[in-house]
Amino acid sequence: MQTTSSTITRRQFLRRSTVATAAMAAPSILPSHVFGESAPSKIITVGVIGAGNIATAHLDALLGYADSVRILGICDVDRERRESAAARVNRAYGSNVCRAHADFRELNRRADIDTVYICTPDHWHALNGIDAIRQGKDIYIEKPMTLTIAEGRALVEAAQRHQRVVQHGTWQRSMKRFHDVVSFVRSGEFGKLERIECPISPNNRHIGATWVPEPVPEGLDWDMWLGPSPWRPYHSLGCHYNFRFIAANASGQITNLGAHCLDIGQWALDMDRSGPVEVEGHGDFPTTGLFTTAGTVDLTFRYASGMTMRCFTSYEGGGNNSARFIGERGWLDIGYAKMSASDPKLLRELQARHAGVRIPSSKNHYDDFFAAVRSRQGTIANAETAHRTTTVCNLGTIAMTLGRKLRWDPVSETFVGDEMANRLRRRAMRAPWSLA
């Protein structure tokens, strides 16, 4: 087995990518037709909604675009987070151009903001994103694109109606190794593909069987944090990062991590406008305590071609966001930090040019987004693609919740013969929030 290993964190990857492509961003290098009607020298202005963990990484990267991007607004329902993030940006710029907002609607309505980065918990994605789109903003939206299948389709339609650019936070699409494996597989040069496997980490948050509600901290608008999700009392462990493990706000590791590797699988299977036709498996849900998403999962998605993609909890290597492609010639395991194969020859072939397929590529997820903003062309991870990947995750969540095999029609986007599953394609929003 040949292994190529480079241990980098996601933040390091984003930073290196920005530095490496700073020259690329210079207008004199890019052909003028790329920019359409917008002048290459136009600064793209950015607002960021959600100033938590992933937003910090985005700010690291965006501040590296000193000549072409300006961050003008930070929104968060937590005063300390929004003020410290805005202050950080202003220190970097040496000015007070960046303002802090408590309400995303205020940020989205700023005429001086071109694009919005949506870095809020999953239950907010659809509202934040569709509102921004309706206000004429292009959006970079973190994965999973939406909490429910219905929200996803609504966001796709909104982007189409308002002709807005959408980039999904599935940044692995802008890594060469993933483009290589997709090309390798789709060209047929990898041979007959038998199945894809995507390991993910288990939920890593635990709490006792019961919990005691806590006073809401000073400066946190808990009602706004909950937003469209059902009311519950505040607990520090049920806020901010841990939203991932509470079913009212997210779907656990299948959307937190699975969205990355399942996205690569969808890409390799050329399913960016479709999806599986069947899902089965199980999840082990905690029956007590604050956290309600499955702690471990094992799901198999079956496509009309017979191909299967399995997403399962692994305690070894789940942190690599990897997808393993298993075929008649052996296997390739491609992750953002490490690659390996059953045969070193496969790794060499992986990196060669693959004839017969032309698959859109991107060298940098930010550059790709900004280029699309200027040219009005599509991104590498557009809204439809994002919705289809997120739907795979949601199909898995619904199958685990109901504990049974489900059949799915990717054309009508409905479950076949399962009314209960169909009802779970959407959720009511807490008043006064709605997509209307």
Partner 1 sequence: MSSTPANIPVATTPVIESTPVPKSYAKSIATTSDPWDVCLTLEYGGDRSFAWSIHQQVTHTPPASWTQVEDRLLASLAVPACTAAACAFFCEMLALVGSARSVPVLASLLRQPNTRESARYALEAIPGAEVDTALRDALAELTGDAKAGLIGTIAARQDAAASSAKPSPR
Give the nearest distance from C-beta 269 to partner 1 in angstroms. 15
CA-based end-to-end distance of the chain:
54
Binding test (CB under 8 A) with partner 1, winner from 219, 233, 344, 360: 233
Give the nearest distance from C-beta 434 to partner 1 in angstroms. 2
Binding test (CB under 8 A) with partner 1, winner from 68, 274, 314, 342: 274
Q: Does 154 bind partner 1 (CB under 8 A)?
A: yes
Give the nearest distance from C-beta 359 to partner 1 in angstroms. 19
Query: Strands across the sheet with 323-327, in order?
Result: 2-5, 338-341, 330-334, 323-327, 193-200, 308-313, 296-302, 278-284, 406-409, 414-415
Rank residues 111 and 436 by Cβ distance to partner 1 and give the closer one. 436
Give the nearest distance from C-beta 190 to partner 1 in angstroms. 26
Q: What share of residues in the chain are helix, strand, coil (percent, to 5)?
A: 35, 20, 45
Give the nearest distance from C-beta 130 to partner 1 in angstroms. 12
Q: Does 209 bind partner 1 (CB under 8 A)?
A: yes
Q: Does 105 bind partner 1 (CB under 8 A)?
A: no
Q: Does 288 bind partner 1 (CB under 8 A)?
A: yes
Rank residues 152 and 335 by Cβ distance to partner 1 and give the closer one. 152
Q: Does 93 bind partner 1 (CB under 8 A)?
A: no
Q: Does 29 bind partner 1 (CB under 8 A)?
A: no
Distance CA 360, CA 380 (A): 7
| Residue 87: count of CB within 10 angstroms of its CB | 14
Binding test (CB under 8 A) with partner 1, winner from 273, 345, 348, 405: 273
Say how many residues touch partner 1, by CB under 8 A: 45
Helix (H, G, I), strand (E, B) or coil at 337: coil
Q: Does 363 bind partner 1 (CB under 8 A)?
A: no
The string of DSSP codes covering 262-319 is HHHHHHHTT-TT---SEEEEEEE--SSSS--S-SEEEEEEE-TTS-EEEEEE-SSSGG
Helix (H, G, I), strand (E, B) or coil at 101: strand
Q: Does 53 bind partner 1 (CB under 8 A)?
A: no
Under 8 Å between Cβ of 267 and 325: no
Rg of the Cα atoms in the chain: 21
Distance CA 236, CA 224 (A): 15
Give the nearest distance from C-beta 230 to partner 1 in angstroms. 7
Q: Does 212 bind partner 1 (CB under 8 A)?
A: yes
Binding test (CB under 8 A) with partner 1, winner from 188, 230, 344, 360: 230
Residues 6+ apart with CB under 8 A from 382: 166, 167, 168
Q: Return the residue matching tokens 């809401």.
A: 216
Q: Does 432 bind partner 1 (CB under 8 A)?
A: yes
Structure tokens at 280: 């089965």
Checking DSSP bridges between strand 330-334 and strand 323-327, what pairing results, if any?
antiparallel
Q: Does 285 bind partner 1 (CB under 8 A)?
A: yes
The one segment of 51-59, 61-69, 206-214, 330-338 that binds partner 1 by CB under 8 A = 206-214
Site for partner 1 in 390-419 (CB under 8 A): 401-404, 410-414, 419
Rank residues 47 and 275 by Cβ distance to partner 1 and give the closer one. 275
Q: Return the residue matching tokens 């944090």.
A: 225
Site for partner 1 in 365-384 (CB under 8 A): 384
Q: Does 222 bind partner 1 (CB under 8 A)?
A: no
Structure tokens at 323: 């997808």
Q: Which residues pair with 45 in a beta bridge?
A: 70
Q: Does 8 bind partner 1 (CB under 8 A)?
A: no
- Name the residues that contact partner 1, by CB under 8 A: 150, 153-154, 209-213, 230-233, 235, 273-274, 285, 287-290, 384, 401-404, 410-414, 419-420, 423-424, 426-436
